Amino acid sequence: MEVRAQARYVRVSPRKARIVVDLVRGKSVAQAQEILRFTNRGIAETVEKVLNSAVANAEHNNHLRAESLVVKKAYVDEGPTMKRIRPRAKGSAARIRKRTSHITIVVAPREEA
């Protein structure tokens, strides 16, 4: 029984978010929460919220125990990019790309994962 949670349109580049998400893939929920709590990256707080949401979904909707859950899948997809213009020399312009991410975490009971 897989249970997932997703945070969409998070204002961080996917490359930066993947660094943090790679740390928790395959770990138990308690271990993943501890890693995220002490990771010195801004996006770690958001990833922890998504993980806690996935655990709450598993407990409430599927009546699973949090102690038996493992992070089965964790991945970051690229969201839409907001494009902005920055004035440059001689009347030209430079494009600024403000990237967004979709963070997905899937938890499952230990036997299934």
Q: Report the sign of the C-alpha dihedral through residues 39, 20, 102, 67, in that order.
A: negative
C-alpha to C-alpha distances, 9 to 48, 71, 110, nearest whole angstrom: 16, 22, 30
Q: Is the pLDDT of residue 3 over 70?
A: yes
Domain total in the chain: 1
Q: Which ranges of the chain does DSSP label H, i.e. alpha helix? A: 14-24, 29-37, 44-62
Cα 63 to chain centroid distance, Å, stands at 23
pLDDT of 4: 93
Domain of 20, in residue numbers: 3-109
- Residue 60: phi, psi to the nearest 5? -80, -45
- 67's tokens: 């102690």
CATH of the domain at 89: 3.90.470.10
Question: pLDDT digit string (tens) for 63-87?
Answer: 999 999 999 999 999 999 999 999 9
pLDDT band at residue 112 under the 50/70/90 scheme: low
Question: pLDDT digit string (tens) for 13-37?
Answer: 999 999 999 999 999 999 999 999 9
Q: Is the pLDDT of residue 97 over 70?
A: yes
**CA 47, 48, 49: angle at the middle one, nearest 5?**
90
Question: pLDDT digit string (tens) for 28-62?
Answer: 999 999 999 999 999 999 999 999 999 999 999 99
